[in-house]
Structure formats: structure tokens, C-alpha cells
Amino acid sequence: DAEITQSPRHKITETGRQVTLACHQTWNHNNMFWYRQDLGHGLRLIHYSYGVQDTNKGEVSDGYSVSRSNTEDLPLTLESAASSQTSVYFCASRAGSTDTQYFGPGTRLTVL
Amino acid sequence: DQQVKQNSPSLSVQEGRISILNCDYTNSMFDYFLWYKKYPAEGPTFLISISSIKDKNEDGRFTVFLNKSAKHLSLHIVPSQPGDSAVYFCAADGSARQLTFGSGTQLTVLP
């Protein structure tokens, strides 16, 4: 079955370290998204991509970057992790702009 | 300023009764609305949606109502079951084709 996976599921890192969270989908979806979930804020959009080599900033993009070298993957990089980036991160994908978004299982990141 | 608001962080309902979850939005450009359900340690899963050209959409025990003039939508679950206990997120979509989420409501269905 086609799916969307995230790795790692849990990560503890130190302030200032570079961290990369992986997102892989096997649906061949063009659109991919990264969100963070924090209490009281719901899910907020970090970055998104509408296809290979396309990346765009979302609502809370500062301190994060993404790259899209193929259809299946959209890794999220924290260049220099900060305690404020402690959160649960969700990746999502959809086929086209009018289609439903499907979410991965999430990565819980703790920055000490 | 939150464009999509879920003002009730939590809701408890007896099994078999109706659960009503509410959501308000401020951006009149939103034209498509969705509800997602989330269990602990899992990603959100799509539940039901409604286009702004409709005022009601039904799928089994779940019905979403949209009141465009009040910029308000609600999700009704009838009858509520213990397995419905989860966090419910309201989301809105507009011309940008990106979802804006509310902060979520934790529904607890008591047996």
C-alpha cells in the first residue's frame, strides 16, 4: 500500500546542532508540506513544495529549510536547532491542489 | 491573529449522545473547510469536508454544517462512540490552496 513515512519518530538534540527530519511518500504526490504542532496553536505550516525543485516558505519558516530533489522526499532541516523548535513535526502530501492532504505519523523533536 | 479558531479546547460527551464541535473563521476568502481527527502518537486523518457552495455535508455518523454569514462551521457526531475520543482539528482552504488549522478540540466520549 502507498504511504507516507517520517523518520526518526523521536529525536533529542542539543541547541545549535543541525537536524534533518525525513519525509517519504510512495503515492507519487506532487504537493508536500511540513507542519509543526504546538499546544494552543494547532498545526502551522513551515514549508511546502508543489513539485521537484520547488520550495516555498510557510507561516513559520524561520530557522528551517527544505529541498525537493525527487517526488518522493521532502527533508526538513533545522540549521541550528533552538529550544523554541521543540515540537511535533508532521509531513503531509496530496496529489493536487484540490485533493485531500494525507499526514505522516509525526516526529517528536526535543531540543535541549 | 488566528484566522481559524476552535474556542473549546475540550469537550466531554456521554456515549450515544451527540457531540458538537465548533469552529469559527475570519477570512472570507476561505472556500473549503475540512475536519481532521487525530489520535495520540499518530498523524491527523481526514474526516469530512464541505465546500462553501454547500451548507451541509453528511457522511455516516458525521455531519458538517457551514454558516457562511456567521463564518462558522460545526461538526456533529451522532451517536458518539468511545472510539471517537480524539483531537479534532478544523481547517480552512482558500485561493492559496494551503490549509489553515484551528488549535484543536479534545473530544472525550465517556462510556
Q: In this predicted model, what pLDDT tens digit does every residue of B5-47 receive, in sequence order?
A: 999 999 999 999 999 999 999 999 999 999 999 999 999 999 9
The whole-number pLDDT of residue A40 equals 82
The whole-number pLDDT of residue A39 equals 85
Query: Which residues of chain B are within 8 Å of residue A44 when distances are taken between CB atoms?
Result: 101
The whole-number pLDDT of residue B98 equals 86
Percentage of chain B with pLDDT > 70? 100
- Interchain contact, A106 vs B42, CB within 8 Å: yes
The whole-number pLDDT of residue A99 equals 82
Q: Which residues contact B45 (CB under 8 A, 6 or more apart)?
A: A103, B36, B37, B38
**Nearest-CA distance A80 → chain B (Å):** 26
Of B37, B49, B43, the closest CA to residue B86 belongs to B37
Strand-pair category, A102-103 with A4-7: unpaired
Percentage of chain B with pLDDT > 90? 91
How far does Cα B24 stand from its chain's mean position?
10
Coil, strand or helix at A28: coil
The number of helices, as runs of H, and strands, as runs of E, in chain A is 0, 11
User: Which among B2, B49, B101, B106 is the top mutation candidate for probing chain A, defined by the most A β-carbons within 10 Å of its own β-carbon?
Assistant: B101
Q: Which residues of B39-48 are buried (b: 16+ CB within 10 A; e: fewer)?
A: eeeebbeebb
Mean local confidence (pLDDT), B39-60: 95
The whole-number pLDDT of residue A1 equals 66
The whole-number pLDDT of residue B27 equals 92
Mean local confidence (pLDDT), B73-97: 94
Enumerate residue ranges in chain A where pLDDT < 50.
none
